[in-house]
């Protein structure tokens, strides 16, 4: 077996087809930016899902997030 120091992190290459990427997007009162943020993330074409965590927003964050997705 190979020696691995305690502070060493192994990095493995994997096929992109086998990787699923999720984005967790915390948001509170982000109605002015959340729609554009979601669209920019979607434009990456690498993301499988976006989860917006709406932390009790008093504005339209929830509605804008739902309509952007």
Cα torsion through 9, 10, 16, 17, rounded to 10: -120
Q: What are phi and psi of 25, to 5 degrees?
A: -115, 100
Rounded Cα–Cα distance for residues 44 and 24 (Å): 15
Confidence at 49, pLDDT banded by 50, 70, 90: very high
Confidence at 1, pLDDT banded by 50, 70, 90: very low
Checking if the pLDDT of 69 tops 70, the result is: yes
Cβ–Cβ under 8 Å, residues 3 and 31? no
């Amino acid at each position: 077996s190979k020696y691995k120091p305690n502070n060493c992190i192994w990095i493995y290459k994997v096929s992109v087809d086998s990787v699923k990427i999720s984005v967790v997007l915390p948001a509170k009162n982000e109605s002015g930016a959340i729609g554009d943020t979601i669209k920019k993330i979607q434009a990456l074409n690498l993301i499988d899902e976006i989860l917006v965590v709406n932390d009790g927003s008093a504005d339209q964050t929830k509605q804008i997030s739902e309509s952007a997705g």
